[in-house]
Amino acid sequence: MQLSEIQAVKQRFGIIGTSELLNRAIDIAVQVAPTDLSVLITGESGVGKENFPQIIHHYSHRKHGPYIAVNCGAIPEGTIDSELFGHEKGSFTGATADRKGYFEVADSGTIFLDEVGELPLSTQVRLLRVLETGEFIKVGSSKTQKTNVRVVAATNLNMIQATREGRFREDLYYRLNTVPISIAPLRERKEDIVLLFRKFASDFAEKYRMPAIKLTDDAKALLSAYYWNGNVRQLKNITEQISVIEQQREINADVLRNYLPKDEMERLPAIFPSAGNHDHKSFNSEREILYQVLFDMKKDMNDLKKLVHDIMNGQAPANAAETLYNTGSFLSHSENYYRNVNPGNDFLNDKLKREQPPFNSTVNDEDDIQVAEEYHEVESNQKPLSLEDMEKQMIRKTLEKHRGKRKLAADELKISERTLYRKIKEYGIE
């Protein structure tokens, strides 16, 4: 189905959005409409599932027949069978006359069963019979009646889980689910959020005869990043609240945040911390990232020393070369990683040069500085070293540390003086 055709469907039924997930759902609805297959529409509460049965009915050969929408969750269990299938006079207390049910009234048309997962098990048996044979029996009657109805159902339940728990018949589920249409939640259609807000703001401006509210760029970013547990319905309600309450017609992020439920603010990305906690959370986040990078590097340095020691004693493991390569690669990219997650913050260099304390902190960071200095030593070699070069470098640094005293150097390297003398001669170390 071409994009222009999908756009025409949106305009006809007042659907706002440009996301691929939304377009795909509309495409399936239009393609399946000419058939008589049962359709099950699934999606979270508030995503707009009620539009799709109307699309299916309009593009089907039944479009001139009746269209009836039934909210199964709103009808009491004791009367649901009577509502759907009708009843005979005197079949129960209060049945003062015969009554036609929805399946009889909707003959040759379409019936939409919203919240179908809320149907009682006894009613599910009756519905299954209608779907399989096109037959039903009124409450209090023994006469079988025929109906030619297209059934479209919708639910926000996890139907697979409901069938496993015995709350919904498995055979009915597969009969309804001949063609599934899944409506994505609003948080997966981020490109549609601002468009929907703008449409709702325009509608409420016309309804209440006032200028439409507008969002600043930071408010748009916050709106798009929000979780929207209530989906389109929740977005519409919040837009109406802001339209009525706020005097200023330009809404920034701080104002918008006051209308977003606090229990869902924790699901926002870190770039949108709650008001009042910005500095504290940013400080902790950056510090934790730095500590993690530094401590990971210190651990790799210790592993590296142990590996070189084993190599010098002829005890190198089979994967020594791979381990050295991976360690060197990690150390050479650690600073780039930190800078990528904290653009513009050259904190590592500030620490190494000791020009200023981090984040104006008064915490004693001597251990961190020591780790950073060890990192700086390894950083000077960006390319992974060969086993010989690594061993040679380790011997030279150990000798420099002990001012050429071979016995002390051999003790630290945990090798004999004779082995150290042979290595010095072999590598030409002066």
Identify whether residues 263 and 297 lie together within a single domain: no
CATH code for the domain in which residue 114 is found:
3.40.50.300
Side chain identity at residue 288, one-letter code: E
Residue 54 CA to residue 237 CA, distance in Å, equals: 23
Predicted local confidence at residue 183, as pLDDT = 97
What residues make up the domain containing 146?
3-184
pTM (whole model) above 0.75:
no
Identify whether residues 166 and 197 lie together within a single domain: no
**β-sheet with 179-182: strand ranges across:** 67-71, 110-114, 150-155, 39-42, 179-182
Is 390 among the domain residues? Answer: no
Indicate whether 319 pLDDT > 80: no
DSSP state of 140: T
Look at strands 135-137 and 110-114 and give their pairing: unpaired
pLDDT tens, residue by residue, 194-240: 999 999 999 999 999 999 999 999 999 999 999 999 999 999 999 99
- Mark residue 14 as left, alpha or beta (left: phi above 0; alpha: psi -120 to 50; beta: remaining): left
Identify whether residues 161 and 20 lie together within a single domain: yes
Indicate whether 180 pLDDT > 90: yes
Is 351 among the domain residues? Answer: yes
Indicate whether 17 pLDDT > 70: yes
Identify whether residues 254 and 306 lie together within a single domain: no
Computed over every residue of the chain, the mean pLDDT equals 81
Alpha-carbon distance values, 127 to 120, 136, 284 (Å): 11, 8, 58
Identify whether residues 315 and 365 lie together within a single domain: yes
Residues in the chain: 430
Identify whether residues 150 and 179 lie together within a single domain: yes
Is 408 among the domain residues? Answer: no
Is 162 among the domain residues? Answer: yes
Identify whether residues 21 and 152 lie together within a single domain: yes
Predicted local confidence at residue 415, as pLDDT = 82
Identify whether residues 220 and 333 lie together within a single domain: no
Is 338 among the domain residues? Answer: yes
pLDDT tens, residue by residue, 118-177: 999 999 999 999 999 999 999 999 999 999 999 999 999 999 999 999 999 999 999 999
Is 413 among the domain residues? Answer: no
3-class state of residue 422 by DSSP: helix
Identify which of 299, 385, 334 has the alpha carbon closest to the alpha carbon of residue 397.
385
Is 295 among the domain residues? Answer: yes
Predicted local confidence at residue 47, as pLDDT = 96
Identify whether residues 316 and 375 lie together within a single domain: yes
Identify whether residues 260 and 313 lie together within a single domain: no
Number of domains, the chain: 3
Domain end position, chosen among 267, 298, 326: 267
Identify which of 229, 341, 243, 247 has the alpha carbon closest to the alpha carbon of residue 285.
341
CATH code for the domain in which residue 211 is found:
1.10.8.60
Is 427 among the domain residues? Answer: no
Predicted local confidence at residue 134, as pLDDT = 95
Identify whether residues 201 and 235 lie together within a single domain: yes
Domain end position, chosen among 184, 205, 238: 184
Yes or no: say if 159 and 173 are a contact pair by the CB < 8 Å rule.
yes
Return the higher-pLDDT residue of 368 and 299.
299
Identify whether residues 156 and 192 lie together within a single domain: no
Predicted local confidence at residue 355, as pLDDT = 41
Domain end position, chosen among 151, 184, 217: 184
φ, ψ of residue 357 to 5 degrees: the values are -75, 150
Residue 123 CA to residue 420 CA, distance in Å, equals: 88
- Mark residue 228 as left, alpha or beta (left: phi above 0; alpha: psi -120 to 50; beta: remaining): left
